[in-house]
Amino acid sequence: MAFLEINDVQKQFAQTTAVDTFNLQVERGEFVSFLGPSGCGKTTTLRMIAGFELPTSGRIVINGNDVTHKPPNQRNVGMVFQSYALFPNMTVADNIGFGLKVAKKPAAEIKQRVEEMLKLIHLSALGNRYPYQLSGGQQQRIALARALAIKPQVLLLDEPLSALDAKIRVSLRNEIRAIQRQLGITTIYVTHDQEEALSLSDRIVVMSEGRIEQIGTPFEIYNFPLTPFVASFVGTLNVLSATVTNAGSGLLQIEGQPIRAARPIESARDGETVSIALRPEIISMNGASAGEANRLQGKVEDVSFLGSIVRIRVRFENDFIHLDTFNNPHLSLPQIGQPITVTFPREAVLVLSRAASAA
């Protein structure tokens, strides 16, 4: 039995289904991210685990106890909010000790735990400050310490880094992961930032329109997306329409040009149109990829300089793809309008299981 179980959970607001048949098993100590665009139901699911929303149907079980109908203050679930939610009238130390005070722990124990938590987040010197005297990053670390002080069964983080600037976001992200590993606490992390989800998580739940699109490790989600939505939402991806010419041999055509997938195509028959996905970083220019690589011919339509990489848009008749190449000041870039042959390995051709309408 998993430590946290979410079984057939559904949430409806009037006529709208915010979360539809959500099933997830989270093991003790696992770090799971809910990833998706705004309105996909990720925060609603998190709020149901916290007890702030009641599921319309389904069960939520933590450590063998059904908590579906338990009020939030009886779940022992720590929560970190996007807006920090520190109590403005209390000092940092009082904020961290609040949950323990509520639980009527002895003063000495509270003091010791607060010191422990301040040390954990490297802010031991700030115990007497008020929240408004701290930076956003410091406030969020205090919020994390406050949530951890009560030794929760599950730690929930609702887009905790969204309000911070880019540099602090990266450093705090690493700190959250380090603390989570150190304490071994089961964690659910809600984000719309794919980089955050990919870098932090043991597993990612990609959501769209209230449904789970895919559950997998960051490696699986990025490299083997199962649906056009996952393919387009996680990372930059080229999604192209292709006609199956020989499903058994993995043969397809993109605008009349033949390509081959590494495996037989099981989701479609000969003559049907499927969506195929190609990562920009796996595509090369002018035959750079040797051996049995697929080749497509087109024209350079745009060249974008993005710092460490250069993104080139190649136009076929109706479709186009992006390819990424590392920025090298010693190499000349292709010119707009120039004919180009792009190559990619057969293994890079991902035939998506659903039609390309969402892509």
Partner 1 sequence: MSKSSPWAWFWIGLGVLYFFVPLFATLEFSLKAQKGFYSLTAYQVALTDPGFVRTFTFSLTMAAATVLVGFLLIVPTAYWVQLRLPRLRPIVELLTLLPFVVPGIVLAFGLIKLYGHPPFSFTESELSTNGLLISGYVVLALPYMYRAVDTGLRAIDVRTLTEAAQSLGASWPTILFRIIFPNLRVALLSGTFLTFAIVIGEFTLATFLNRPAFGPYMNLVGDKTYIPEALAIITFALTWASMGLIQFFSRGTPGQGPLAGTR
- Kindly list the residues in this chain that would bind partner 1 in the complex (CB under 8 A): 50-52, 71-79, 81, 83-90, 98-99, 102-103, 130-134, 139, 143, 146-147, 150, 156, 163
Residue placing its CB nearer to partner 1 in the complex, 134 or 254: 134
Closest contact distance (angstroms) between CB of 333 and partner 1 is 43
Tokens of residue 138, six digits? 């410091």
Report in angstroms how near the CB of residue 285 gets to partner 1 at its nearest: 46
Report the distance separating Cα 212 and Cα 226, nearest Å: 11
Q: Please, what is the minimum distance in Å from the beta carbon of residue 26 to partner 1? A: 18
Residues with Cβ within 8 Å of 78's Cβ and at least 6 positions away in sequence, in order, are 147, 148, 150, 152, 154, 155, 156
| Selection from 21, 24, 32 nearest residue 204 by Cα | 32
Q: Which is nearer to partner 1, 179 or 300 (CB)?
A: 179
CA–CA gap between residue 32 and residue 27 (Å, rounded): 9
Closest to partner 1 by CB, 148 vs 204, is 148
The single-letter DSSP state of residue 327 is -
54 or 262: CB nearest partner 1: 54
User: CA 188 to CA 25: how far, in whole Å?
Assistant: 12
* Least Cβ distance, residue 65 to partner 1 (angstroms): 16
Give all strands of the β-sheet with 65-66 in edge-to-edge order. Answer: 16-26, 4-13, 57-62, 65-66
Q: What is the CA angle 263-267-270, rounded to 5?
A: 85
Which residue, 77 or 237, has its beta carbon nearer to partner 1?
A: 77
Whichever of 185 and 259 has its CB closer to partner 1, that residue is 185
Q: Given the structure tokens 């992200």, which residue do they identify?
A: 173
In this complex, which beta carbon is closest to partner 1, that of residue 130 or of residue 320? 130
* Cα distance between residue 92 and residue 112, in whole Å: 14
CB of residue 84 to partner 1, shortest distance in Å = 5
Backbone angles phi, psi at 256, to 5 degrees: 85, -10
Q: Toward partner 1, which CB reaches closer, 52 or 320?
A: 52
What is d(CA 45, CA 19) in angstroms, rounded to the nearest whole number? 7
Nearest to 223 by CA among 264, 177, 282: 282
For the chain, first and last CA: distance in Å?
Answer: 36
CB of 1 to partner 1, least distance (A): 24
For residues 114 and 92, give the distance between their C-alpha atoms in angstroms, rounded to a whole number.
9
Least distance between partner 1 and beta carbon 225 (Å)? 33
